[in-house]
Amino acid sequence: MRFQLPLIAAIAAVPLASAQLNELAKKAGKLYFGTATDNMELNGTYLKILDDTKEFGQLTPANGMKWFAVEPEQGVFNYSDGSVVANLATKNKQKLRCHNLVWHSQLAPWVDATTWTKKTLTAALINHVTHEARHWAGQCYAWDVLNEALNDDGTYRNDTFLSVLGPDYIKIAFRAAAAADPHAKLYYNDYNIESPGNKSTSVRENIVKFLQDDGIRIDGVGLQSHFVTGSSPTIDQQIATMQSYADMNLDVAITELDVRNLLPSTATVLAQQSKDYANAVGACMQVDRCVGITVWDFYDPYSWVPGVFTGYGDADLWFSNFTKHPAYYGVVGALKNSTGKHHHGRAELSWEA
Protein backbone atom coordinates (compact mmCIF):
# COMPACT_ATOMS: atom_id res chain seq x y z
CA MET A 1 0.00 0.00 0.00
CA ARG A 2 2.71 2.38 1.01
CA PHE A 3 4.38 2.24 -2.39
CA GLN A 4 1.27 2.52 -4.49
CA LEU A 5 0.69 6.24 -4.37
CA PRO A 6 4.22 7.35 -5.27
CA LEU A 7 4.29 4.72 -8.05
CA ILE A 8 1.06 5.93 -9.62
CA ALA A 9 2.29 9.51 -9.38
CA ALA A 10 5.51 8.54 -11.12
CA ILE A 11 3.67 6.77 -13.94
CA ALA A 12 1.31 9.67 -14.41
CA ALA A 13 4.23 12.06 -14.63
CA VAL A 14 5.73 10.18 -17.60
CA PRO A 15 4.02 11.29 -20.82
CA LEU A 16 2.25 8.32 -22.39
CA ALA A 17 3.88 7.17 -25.62
CA SER A 18 1.31 7.67 -28.37
CA ALA A 19 -0.28 4.41 -29.37
CA GLN A 20 0.88 2.85 -32.61
CA LEU A 21 -0.86 1.17 -35.52
CA ASN A 22 -0.57 -2.55 -34.78
CA GLU A 23 -1.13 -2.01 -31.11
CA LEU A 24 -4.37 -0.12 -31.84
CA ALA A 25 -5.54 -2.59 -34.49
CA LYS A 26 -5.18 -5.45 -32.02
CA LYS A 27 -6.99 -3.51 -29.30
CA ALA A 28 -9.80 -3.04 -31.81
CA GLY A 29 -10.03 -6.83 -32.22
CA LYS A 30 -8.11 -7.15 -35.48
CA LEU A 31 -5.24 -9.58 -36.00
CA TYR A 32 -2.69 -7.09 -37.28
CA PHE A 33 -1.76 -3.81 -38.93
CA GLY A 34 0.96 -4.60 -41.45
CA THR A 35 3.03 -3.42 -44.38
CA ALA A 36 4.60 -4.63 -47.57
CA THR A 37 8.36 -4.36 -47.70
CA ASP A 38 11.25 -5.44 -49.89
CA ASN A 39 14.76 -6.80 -49.51
CA MET A 40 16.63 -3.65 -50.62
CA GLU A 41 14.83 -1.53 -48.01
CA LEU A 42 15.93 -3.29 -44.84
CA ASN A 43 18.31 -0.82 -43.20
CA GLY A 44 18.53 2.29 -41.02
CA THR A 45 15.56 4.18 -39.61
CA TYR A 46 13.19 2.42 -42.00
CA LEU A 47 14.14 -0.97 -40.57
CA LYS A 48 13.73 0.28 -37.00
CA ILE A 49 10.14 1.27 -37.75
CA LEU A 50 9.48 -1.96 -39.66
CA ASP A 51 10.83 -4.07 -36.78
CA ASP A 52 8.63 -2.30 -34.22
CA THR A 53 5.74 -4.68 -33.60
CA LYS A 54 3.76 -1.92 -31.92
CA GLU A 55 3.64 -0.33 -35.37
CA PHE A 56 3.58 -3.37 -37.67
CA GLY A 57 2.41 -6.87 -36.77
CA GLN A 58 2.46 -8.28 -40.28
CA LEU A 59 4.76 -8.20 -43.34
CA THR A 60 4.14 -8.91 -47.03
CA PRO A 61 7.14 -9.45 -49.33
CA ALA A 62 6.55 -7.04 -52.22
CA ASN A 63 8.36 -9.09 -54.86
CA GLY A 64 10.38 -12.02 -53.54
CA MET A 65 7.61 -14.63 -53.71
CA LYS A 66 6.39 -13.81 -57.21
CA TRP A 67 6.71 -16.43 -59.94
CA PHE A 68 9.62 -14.74 -61.76
CA ALA A 69 11.67 -14.84 -58.57
CA VAL A 70 10.71 -18.30 -57.36
CA GLU A 71 10.67 -20.40 -60.55
CA PRO A 72 12.77 -18.45 -63.06
CA GLU A 73 13.30 -21.57 -65.17
CA GLN A 74 10.79 -24.37 -65.39
CA GLY A 75 11.34 -26.74 -62.49
CA VAL A 76 14.18 -24.66 -61.00
CA PHE A 77 13.04 -23.16 -57.69
CA ASN A 78 14.84 -20.32 -55.91
CA TYR A 79 13.55 -19.22 -52.53
CA SER A 80 16.42 -16.95 -51.53
CA ASP A 81 14.76 -13.57 -52.26
CA GLY A 82 11.41 -14.53 -50.71
CA SER A 83 13.05 -15.92 -47.60
CA VAL A 84 14.52 -12.57 -46.59
CA VAL A 85 11.21 -10.96 -45.63
CA ALA A 86 9.72 -14.30 -44.52
CA ASN A 87 12.59 -14.85 -42.09
CA LEU A 88 12.45 -11.27 -40.83
CA ALA A 89 8.76 -11.75 -40.02
CA THR A 90 9.57 -14.99 -38.19
CA LYS A 91 12.37 -13.33 -36.24
CA ASN A 92 10.12 -10.40 -35.26
CA LYS A 93 7.10 -12.65 -34.56
CA GLN A 94 5.13 -10.75 -37.19
CA LYS A 95 2.48 -12.46 -39.28
CA LEU A 96 3.40 -13.13 -42.90
CA ARG A 97 1.04 -12.64 -45.85
CA CYS A 98 2.56 -14.60 -48.70
CA HIS A 99 2.20 -12.99 -52.13
CA ASN A 100 1.50 -14.52 -54.64
CA LEU A 101 1.20 -17.92 -56.32
CA VAL A 102 -0.54 -17.14 -59.63
CA TRP A 103 -0.61 -13.81 -61.46
CA HIS A 104 -0.43 -12.75 -65.11
CA SER A 105 2.25 -10.15 -64.32
CA GLN A 106 5.83 -10.54 -63.03
CA LEU A 107 5.59 -14.06 -64.33
CA ALA A 108 8.68 -15.97 -65.41
CA PRO A 109 9.08 -15.41 -69.19
CA TRP A 110 9.10 -19.16 -69.90
CA VAL A 111 5.44 -19.44 -68.90
CA ASP A 112 4.26 -17.15 -71.71
CA ALA A 113 6.90 -18.39 -74.18
CA THR A 114 6.09 -22.10 -74.00
CA THR A 115 3.61 -23.77 -76.34
CA TRP A 116 1.31 -25.58 -73.93
CA THR A 117 -1.32 -28.24 -74.06
CA LYS A 118 -3.94 -28.40 -71.33
CA LYS A 119 -2.09 -31.34 -69.87
CA THR A 120 1.39 -29.77 -69.78
CA LEU A 121 0.23 -26.42 -68.41
CA THR A 122 -1.91 -28.09 -65.74
CA ALA A 123 1.15 -30.02 -64.63
CA ALA A 124 3.37 -26.91 -64.63
CA LEU A 125 0.80 -24.90 -62.66
CA ILE A 126 0.31 -27.61 -60.05
CA ASN A 127 4.07 -28.03 -59.79
CA HIS A 128 4.63 -24.32 -59.17
CA VAL A 129 1.88 -23.89 -56.60
CA THR A 130 2.73 -27.11 -54.80
CA HIS A 131 6.47 -26.49 -54.49
CA GLU A 132 6.14 -22.88 -53.47
CA ALA A 133 3.28 -23.29 -50.99
CA ARG A 134 4.97 -26.34 -49.43
CA HIS A 135 8.25 -24.47 -49.11
CA TRP A 136 6.79 -21.75 -46.88
CA ALA A 137 4.11 -23.88 -45.22
CA GLY A 138 3.98 -23.03 -41.53
CA GLN A 139 5.30 -19.50 -42.13
CA CYS A 140 2.42 -18.03 -44.13
CA TYR A 141 -0.59 -16.77 -42.20
CA ALA A 142 -2.27 -16.26 -45.58
CA TRP A 143 -1.50 -16.85 -49.25
CA ASP A 144 -2.66 -14.68 -52.11
CA VAL A 145 -3.24 -17.76 -54.24
CA LEU A 146 -4.58 -15.83 -57.20
CA ASN A 147 -3.93 -12.18 -57.99
CA GLU A 148 -5.85 -9.89 -60.36
CA ALA A 149 -7.64 -12.51 -62.47
CA LEU A 150 -10.46 -10.16 -63.49
CA ASN A 151 -10.78 -7.21 -65.85
CA ASP A 152 -12.44 -4.05 -64.55
CA ASP A 153 -15.72 -4.99 -66.31
CA GLY A 154 -15.75 -8.27 -64.38
CA THR A 155 -14.79 -10.60 -67.23
CA TYR A 156 -11.91 -13.03 -66.74
CA ARG A 157 -8.57 -11.48 -67.64
CA ASN A 158 -7.02 -13.18 -70.63
CA ASP A 159 -3.57 -14.55 -70.00
CA THR A 160 -1.70 -17.75 -70.76
CA PHE A 161 -3.51 -19.64 -67.98
CA LEU A 162 -6.98 -18.58 -69.11
CA SER A 163 -6.33 -19.01 -72.81
CA VAL A 164 -5.01 -22.58 -72.43
CA LEU A 165 -7.04 -23.88 -69.51
CA GLY A 166 -10.11 -21.64 -69.32
CA PRO A 167 -11.38 -20.59 -65.87
CA ASP A 168 -10.60 -24.06 -64.52
CA TYR A 169 -7.05 -22.86 -63.91
CA ILE A 170 -8.48 -21.05 -60.88
CA LYS A 171 -9.74 -24.32 -59.42
CA ILE A 172 -6.45 -26.05 -60.20
CA ALA A 173 -4.50 -23.35 -58.36
CA PHE A 174 -6.69 -23.25 -55.24
CA ARG A 175 -6.88 -27.05 -55.01
CA ALA A 176 -3.09 -27.34 -55.22
CA ALA A 177 -2.59 -24.57 -52.63
CA ALA A 178 -5.03 -26.19 -50.19
CA ALA A 179 -3.22 -29.51 -50.50
CA ALA A 180 0.23 -27.97 -50.13
CA ASP A 181 -0.51 -25.71 -47.16
CA PRO A 182 -3.53 -26.85 -45.14
CA HIS A 183 -3.10 -24.08 -42.55
CA ALA A 184 -2.61 -20.88 -44.55
CA LYS A 185 -5.73 -18.84 -45.27
CA LEU A 186 -6.21 -18.93 -49.04
CA TYR A 187 -7.11 -15.58 -50.62
CA TYR A 188 -8.20 -14.10 -53.92
CA ASN A 189 -6.59 -10.62 -54.18
CA ASP A 190 -7.51 -7.78 -56.56
CA TYR A 191 -7.92 -4.01 -57.02
CA ASN A 192 -11.06 -1.99 -57.86
CA ILE A 193 -13.13 -4.51 -55.89
CA GLU A 194 -13.64 -2.17 -52.93
CA SER A 195 -16.98 -0.70 -54.02
CA PRO A 196 -20.15 -2.26 -55.47
CA GLY A 197 -20.04 -2.82 -59.23
CA ASN A 198 -19.42 -5.35 -61.96
CA LYS A 199 -15.97 -6.30 -60.74
CA SER A 200 -16.95 -6.99 -57.12
CA THR A 201 -20.01 -8.93 -58.35
CA SER A 202 -17.66 -10.99 -60.49
CA VAL A 203 -15.39 -11.70 -57.50
CA ARG A 204 -18.38 -13.25 -55.74
CA GLU A 205 -19.74 -15.16 -58.74
CA ASN A 206 -16.78 -16.01 -60.94
CA ILE A 207 -14.17 -16.59 -58.26
CA VAL A 208 -15.71 -17.34 -54.83
CA LYS A 209 -18.94 -19.13 -55.84
CA PHE A 210 -17.13 -20.82 -58.72
CA LEU A 211 -14.76 -22.43 -56.19
CA GLN A 212 -17.26 -23.00 -53.39
CA ASP A 213 -19.74 -24.76 -55.74
CA ASP A 214 -17.03 -27.32 -56.38
CA GLY A 215 -16.15 -27.70 -52.68
CA ILE A 216 -12.75 -26.03 -53.18
CA ARG A 217 -11.40 -24.07 -50.24
CA ILE A 218 -11.14 -20.28 -50.42
CA ASP A 219 -10.85 -18.45 -47.11
CA GLY A 220 -10.70 -14.80 -47.98
CA VAL A 221 -10.84 -11.88 -50.37
CA GLY A 222 -8.02 -9.34 -50.32
CA LEU A 223 -9.06 -5.80 -51.22
CA GLN A 224 -5.89 -4.15 -52.50
CA SER A 225 -7.25 -0.64 -51.95
CA HIS A 226 -4.90 1.43 -54.09
CA PHE A 227 -6.83 4.68 -53.82
CA VAL A 228 -6.58 8.23 -55.16
CA THR A 229 -6.92 11.18 -52.80
CA GLY A 230 -10.34 12.79 -53.22
CA SER A 231 -11.82 9.98 -55.30
CA SER A 232 -11.59 6.98 -52.99
CA PRO A 233 -14.71 4.88 -52.36
CA THR A 234 -16.84 6.07 -49.44
CA ILE A 235 -16.71 4.27 -46.10
CA ASP A 236 -20.24 2.95 -46.72
CA GLN A 237 -19.30 1.56 -50.14
CA GLN A 238 -16.29 -0.17 -48.61
CA ILE A 239 -18.27 -1.61 -45.72
CA ALA A 240 -21.00 -2.89 -48.05
CA THR A 241 -18.52 -4.55 -50.38
CA MET A 242 -16.45 -6.13 -47.61
CA GLN A 243 -19.63 -7.41 -45.99
CA SER A 244 -20.79 -8.94 -49.30
CA TYR A 245 -17.66 -11.11 -49.34
CA ALA A 246 -17.91 -11.83 -45.61
CA ASP A 247 -21.48 -13.02 -46.18
CA MET A 248 -20.02 -15.85 -48.29
CA ASN A 249 -18.34 -17.10 -45.10
CA LEU A 250 -15.03 -15.49 -45.99
CA ASP A 251 -12.50 -13.37 -44.17
CA VAL A 252 -11.59 -10.10 -45.82
CA ALA A 253 -8.43 -8.04 -45.52
CA ILE A 254 -7.17 -4.73 -46.85
CA THR A 255 -3.98 -5.98 -48.48
CA GLU A 256 -2.21 -3.15 -50.33
CA LEU A 257 -3.56 0.14 -49.02
CA ASP A 258 -2.12 3.39 -50.31
CA VAL A 259 -3.74 6.71 -51.24
CA ARG A 260 -1.89 8.71 -53.87
CA ASN A 261 -1.81 12.48 -54.09
CA LEU A 262 -1.73 14.55 -57.24
CA LEU A 263 1.44 16.51 -56.44
CA PRO A 264 2.17 18.91 -54.87
CA SER A 265 0.77 17.72 -51.54
CA THR A 266 -0.75 20.90 -50.16
CA ALA A 267 -2.20 20.99 -46.64
CA THR A 268 -5.66 20.57 -48.19
CA VAL A 269 -4.56 17.53 -50.17
CA LEU A 270 -2.93 15.96 -47.10
CA ALA A 271 -6.10 16.54 -45.07
CA GLN A 272 -8.20 14.81 -47.75
CA GLN A 273 -5.68 11.95 -47.93
CA SER A 274 -6.06 11.53 -44.19
CA LYS A 275 -9.84 11.19 -44.55
CA ASP A 276 -9.45 8.66 -47.34
CA TYR A 277 -7.04 6.53 -45.30
CA ALA A 278 -9.35 6.78 -42.29
CA ASN A 279 -12.36 5.65 -44.33
CA ALA A 280 -10.57 2.53 -45.56
CA VAL A 281 -9.34 1.62 -42.09
CA GLY A 282 -12.69 2.60 -40.55
CA ALA A 283 -14.53 0.29 -42.96
CA CYS A 284 -12.38 -2.65 -41.87
CA MET A 285 -13.10 -1.76 -38.24
CA GLN A 286 -16.82 -2.03 -38.88
CA VAL A 287 -16.75 -5.44 -40.59
CA ASP A 288 -16.18 -8.28 -38.13
CA ARG A 289 -14.65 -10.58 -40.75
CA CYS A 290 -12.09 -7.97 -41.79
CA VAL A 291 -9.00 -9.42 -40.14
CA GLY A 292 -6.45 -6.68 -40.74
CA ILE A 293 -4.96 -3.91 -42.83
CA THR A 294 -1.73 -3.92 -44.83
CA VAL A 295 -0.25 -0.78 -46.39
CA TRP A 296 1.74 -1.20 -49.61
CA ASP A 297 4.84 0.07 -47.92
CA PHE A 298 4.83 2.89 -45.40
CA TYR A 299 7.66 5.16 -46.58
CA ASP A 300 7.19 7.45 -49.61
CA PRO A 301 10.61 6.83 -51.19
CA TYR A 302 9.74 3.11 -51.47
CA SER A 303 6.25 3.59 -52.92
CA TRP A 304 5.48 2.07 -56.32
CA VAL A 305 3.25 5.07 -57.14
CA PRO A 306 5.62 7.66 -58.69
CA GLY A 307 7.04 5.04 -61.05
CA VAL A 308 3.61 4.06 -62.36
CA PHE A 309 1.34 7.14 -62.07
CA THR A 310 2.99 10.23 -63.53
CA GLY A 311 2.45 13.32 -61.38
CA TYR A 312 1.31 11.37 -58.32
CA GLY A 313 3.15 10.56 -55.11
CA ASP A 314 3.28 10.91 -51.33
CA ALA A 315 0.97 7.88 -51.17
CA ASP A 316 2.33 6.34 -47.96
CA LEU A 317 2.16 7.23 -44.25
CA TRP A 318 5.75 8.46 -43.71
CA PHE A 319 7.44 11.25 -45.70
CA SER A 320 10.99 10.82 -46.99
CA ASN A 321 12.36 12.64 -43.91
CA PHE A 322 10.58 10.08 -41.67
CA THR A 323 8.00 12.51 -40.32
CA LYS A 324 4.47 11.13 -40.47
CA HIS A 325 1.76 12.27 -42.84
CA PRO A 326 -1.43 13.70 -41.33
CA ALA A 327 -2.92 10.44 -42.71
CA TYR A 328 -0.99 8.48 -40.06
CA TYR A 329 -3.07 10.29 -37.44
CA GLY A 330 -6.18 9.76 -39.56
CA VAL A 331 -5.51 6.02 -39.39
CA VAL A 332 -4.88 6.24 -35.64
CA GLY A 333 -8.22 8.00 -35.26
CA ALA A 334 -10.05 5.34 -37.25
CA LEU A 335 -8.41 2.57 -35.21
CA LYS A 336 -9.22 4.30 -31.92
CA ASN A 337 -12.78 5.08 -33.01
CA SER A 338 -13.43 1.36 -32.95
CA THR A 339 -11.17 0.26 -30.10
CA GLY A 340 -12.92 -2.36 -28.04
CA LYS A 341 -16.15 -2.26 -30.05
CA HIS A 342 -15.41 -5.14 -32.41
CA HIS A 343 -13.80 -8.45 -31.72
CA HIS A 344 -12.37 -10.59 -34.42
CA GLY A 345 -13.46 -14.15 -33.84
CA ARG A 346 -17.07 -13.38 -33.01
CA ALA A 347 -18.07 -14.40 -36.52
CA GLU A 348 -16.08 -17.61 -36.22
CA LEU A 349 -17.70 -18.43 -32.90
CA SER A 350 -21.22 -17.90 -34.17
CA TRP A 351 -20.44 -20.00 -37.20
CA GLU A 352 -19.28 -22.86 -35.04
CA ALA A 353 -22.40 -22.69 -32.93
Q: Which is nearer to ligand NAG, 105 or 138 (CB)?
A: 105
Q: Verify binding: residue 264, ligand NAG, rule CB under 6 A.
A: no
Q: How far is CA 47 from CA 42, 305, 319, 327, in A?
A: 5, 21, 15, 21
Contact between 44 and ligand NAG by CB under 6 A: the answer reads: yes
Using the contact rule CB under 6 A, the part of the chain among 3-11, 40-48, 93-101, 214-222 near ligand NAG is 40-48
Q: How far is the CB of 201 from ligand NAG (least distance, A)?
A: 8
Of 282, 209, 217, the closest CA to residue 245 belongs to 209
Are 96 and 133 a contacting pair, CB within 8 Å? no
Nearer to ligand NAG, 160 or 237 (CB): 160
Query: What is the Cα–Cα distance from 107 to 105, expressed in whole angstroms?
Result: 5
Select from 27, 41, 157, 179 the one that contacts ligand NAG (CB under 6 A): 41
Does residue 278 belong to the site contacting ligand NAG (CB under 6 A)?
Answer: yes
Closest approach of ligand NAG to the CB of residue 185, in Å: 25
**Shortest Å distance, C-beta 32 to ligand NAG:** 19
Instruction: Give the x-and-dash track for 282-301 against ligand NAG (CB under 6 A).
Output: x---x---------------
Q: Which stretch binds ligand NAG (CB under 6 A): 14-22, 205-213, 287-295, 315-323?
A: 315-323
Cβ 164 to ligand NAG, closest distance in Å? 8
In angstroms, the Cα distances linking 245 to 46, 67, 75, 205, 250 are: 34, 27, 35, 10, 6
Radius of gyration for the alpha carbons in the chain, expressed in angstroms and rounded: 21
Q: What is the DSSP string of 211-231?
A: HHTTT----EEEE--EEETT-
Pairing of strands 290-295, 32-37: parallel
Number of H helices, E strands in the chain: 16, 10
List binders of ligand NAG among 190-209 (CB under 6 A). Answer: 197-198
| Residue, CB closest to ligand NAG | 282
C-alpha torsion angle, residues 219, 22, 317, 296 (rounded to 10): -30
Interaction between residue 234 and ligand NAG (CB under 6 A): no
Q: Return all residues near 307 (Cβ < 8 A) that are at least 6 apart.
A: none
Residue 43 within binding range of ligand NAG, rule CB under 6 A: yes
73 is catalytic: no
23 classed as catalytic: no
Nearer to ligand NAG by Cβ, of 7 and 320: the residue is: 320
263 binds ligand NAG (CB under 6 A): no
Q: Of the two residues 66 and 95, which places its CB atom closer to ligand NAG in the complex?
A: 66
268 forms part of the interface with ligand NAG (CB under 6 A)? no
Query: What number of chain residues touch ligand NAG (CB under 6 A)?
Result: 23
81 lines the binding site for ligand NAG (CB under 6 A): yes
DSSP character for 301?
G
Per DSSP, 105 falls in state: S
98-124: b (≥16 Cβ within 10 Å) or e: bbbbbbbeebbebbeeeebeeeebbeb
- Contact positions vs ligand NAG (CB under 6 A): 40-41, 43-44, 78, 80-81, 153, 158-160, 163, 197-198, 235, 278, 282, 286, 319, 321, 323, 334, 337
Which residues are tagged catalytic? Answer: 148, 256
